[in-house]
Amino acid sequence: MISLKTLLKTPRFSDLHLLTNPKMLNDQIMESVEITETPDVEKYIPKNVLILSTGMVFKDNQQGFIPFIDSLIRAEAIGLGIKVGRFLNQIDEEVIAYANKVNFPLLVIPDHFPLGSLLHQIMNLILETEREEIDFALDIQKRFSDLLVQDASNSLLVGDLSRMIKTPIILLDPFHQIISHSQHFKNHKDKAEYYVDSVFEERKKTQRNHGSFLVTEPDGSKTHLSLVKIQVHTYFPHYLIIVDPEQVPFPTSVFAIEQAALVFQFNLYKNQKVDESLYANEAHFFNDLIDSQVNNTLDSTNWFKVSRNYGYIQTDYYRVVHIHSKDMLDEKNNAYTLKANEKLFLSYRWLRKNLQHYFENAIVVWRAEDREIVLILQEEDTDLSEKLLEIAQKIDDLINNQLTFSVGYPVSKWDQIEQSYTQAKLAHNERQNKENAEPVIFYRDKGADQLFNDLDHNEIVYFCKSVLKELAYPEEDSLIDLRITLDTYLKNQSEITQTANDLFIHRNTVKYRINRCEEILGVKVDAPDDSLNIRLALQLSKDN
């Protein structure tokens, strides 16, 4: 395909003269040419068309060109060529000034150019260009397909495409991180990173997901960058950045670049599927571990020989963190959307690549069937919560995915990892019953009250109220003080002095409050059976 700017540089059309500012010419593709002598064509012409005219209808009133130009702009025409010498000797300066004001190209066609012949020549050029571009695009596809069959790396594909189109290119992952770039950036990686940051900043300003963007260099000059989507994932594509696409030599075209992007798509998809087979093996080993199958078949020595292939090390510290996302927690009836699942999987991919920056010797496992990420820490970290929150913020900034972290207790032996995982999963399950749970929660051993996990909420409330009466869910300050005193008293094994010290009150106040509690409850709080029920009710009513 050809642009108006390219047309005017073609020798056979050197007699065509541009009346308006050359700076308004861009690389917008000219798709067709039409001749008209009537101004009412707005609704009857295609987009990206060059209009040719003798201007006959405006010979006595060139001011009529102004609304005609407005109508062509609305129709998304690419420009207007006016033949002079027959009906018009020249174009009025007011018309030219208006065209400059509205950024619409005006051309003068000399008298010796018959409009019919000019239309025919331009259309031949457009069609000839399209044929050459299609041939070139198919050549790119064949060459790249051969490389694909030969299992070429992304770096090789990037280098080959860059040489073919003679301009720098950069390949990005869905997080806008550089996968590979052409040799132009070999000693200037910061330059590549600058282009990446700049083009996505411009994308944010313009509200366009892809296409051409003009970015400002550090020295103030302007560079044209083209952002091409590579759709490996449905919602979060990879990208190609092509630097100075207007410098790409003929007959390279948008179609040719799209063919190259298609080959990148196949290669990236193939690589991802290869990686997923590795993820599945790691998940299978972890599944065996938490199902105790490995524990029963291997001793410690043999286990470490096998497990080191999956990143496990011999240590006295293992801790499991269950990772999920708020999007999936919000889905009802486990009907996870494709987008939510894609976000979680990409979060895993990012963690796998960047985890070493946060935790040494940590392992991350993708459990596809359960749609969850499992993080296994193999070294104690006093900044665990802060680092998890930092990871959460990074992922949220990149793909708008709010991760949740549920942390089990640390264990000292490899065959106890299953316990830490179970605790992390219980903490995660408890999170689902809370509307505004924190991003990072730690498993808390509930002791005997965990036996009540499967009971209906209303049954638990009934039990607490029947045992504690007004002390079950008090709102008055006096009743709240009584409940706190009773709870502290029982935890201190009915020691009045210790209870007084803990609450900073007098011993007589403790005695008075305990007597008052017994009046309300109707039982002796030290009686073994009653004491057990009271302790359970106090604990259960805290969480219900």
Strand bridging mode 106-109 / 79-83 = parallel
Rounded mean pLDDT, 491-496: 90
Which among 100, 88, 96 is positioned nearest to 24, based on CA atoms? 100
Rounded mean pLDDT, 109-117: 86
Query: 140 falls in which pLDDT band (50, 70, 90)?
Result: low
Rounded mean pLDDT, 271-275: 89
Apex 29 CA angle, 26 and 32, nearest 5: 130
Provide the pLDDT for residue 255: 62
Separation between Cα atoms, residue 115 and residue 106, nearest integer Å: 15
Is the pLDDT at 106 greater than 90? The verdict is: yes
Separation between Cα atoms, residue 98 and residue 104, nearest integer Å: 9
Query: 13 falls in which pLDDT band (50, 70, 90)?
Result: confident
Provide the pLDDT for residue 128: 67
Is the pLDDT at 252 greater than 80? The verdict is: no
Query: 436 falls in which pLDDT band (50, 70, 90)?
Result: low
Beta bridge mates, 18: 107
E strands present in 85-203: 106-109, 169-172, 178-181
Is the pLDDT at 506 greater than 90? The verdict is: yes
Q: Give me the DSSP letters along 472-492.
A: SS--SHHHHHHHHHHHHHHHT
* 3-class state of residue 50 by DSSP: strand
| Helices assigned H by DSSP within 383-506 | 384-399, 417-431, 457-468, 477-491, 496-503
Is the pLDDT at 450 greater than 60? The verdict is: no
Q: What mean pLDDT value characterizes the chain? A: 86
Q: What is the dihedral of CA 192, 197, 202, 207, to 10 degrees?
A: 120
Is the pLDDT at 251 greater than 80? The verdict is: no
3-state DSSP percent of the chain in helix, strand and coil, to 5: 55, 15, 30
Provide the pLDDT for residue 359: 95
What is the percent of the chain with per-residue pLDDT over 90, rounded to a whole number?
48
Beta bridge mates, 222: 216
Separation between Cα atoms, residue 164 and residue 139, nearest integer Å: 11
Rounded mean pLDDT, 444-466: 72
Query: 532 falls in which pLDDT band (50, 70, 90)?
Result: confident
**pTM listed for this prediction:** 0.59
Is the pLDDT at 55 greater than 60? The verdict is: yes
Q: Which two tokens stand for residue 337?
A: 């959307």
User: Which residue has tokens 């060529």?
Assistant: 81
Separation between Cα atoms, residue 513 and residue 293, nearest integer Å: 55
Rounded mean pLDDT, 505-518: 94
- Range picked from 245-259, 268-282, 299-313 for highest mean pLDDT: 268-282
Q: Provide the sign of the torsion angle of the four alpha carbons 517, 520, 521, 524, taken in this order.
A: positive
| Helices assigned H by DSSP within 291-383 | 293-297, 300-307, 326-330, 338-354
Is the pLDDT at 481 greater than 60? The verdict is: yes
Residue 162's Cβ-count burial label (10 Å; 0-12, 13-18, 19+) is: buried
Is the pLDDT at 495 greater than 80? The verdict is: yes
Q: Provide the sign of the torsion angle of the four alpha carbons 118, 122, 127, 132, taken in this order.
A: positive
Is the pLDDT at 493 greater than 50? The verdict is: yes
Tens digits of per-residue pLDDT, 338-390? 888 999 999 999 999 999 999 999 999 999 888 899 999 999 998 999 999 99
Query: 148 falls in which pLDDT band (50, 70, 90)?
Result: low
Rounded mean pLDDT, 158-163: 84
Is the pLDDT at 256 greater than 60? The verdict is: yes
Tens digits of per-residue pLDDT, 213-236? 888 888 888 888 889 999 998 899
Provide the pLDDT for residue 36: 93
Provide the pLDDT for residue 540: 86
Q: Give me the DSSP letters along 77-111.
A: --EEEEE-SSS-SS--HHHHHHHHHTT--EEEE-T
Higher pLDDT, 485 or 444: 485
What length is written for the chain?
544
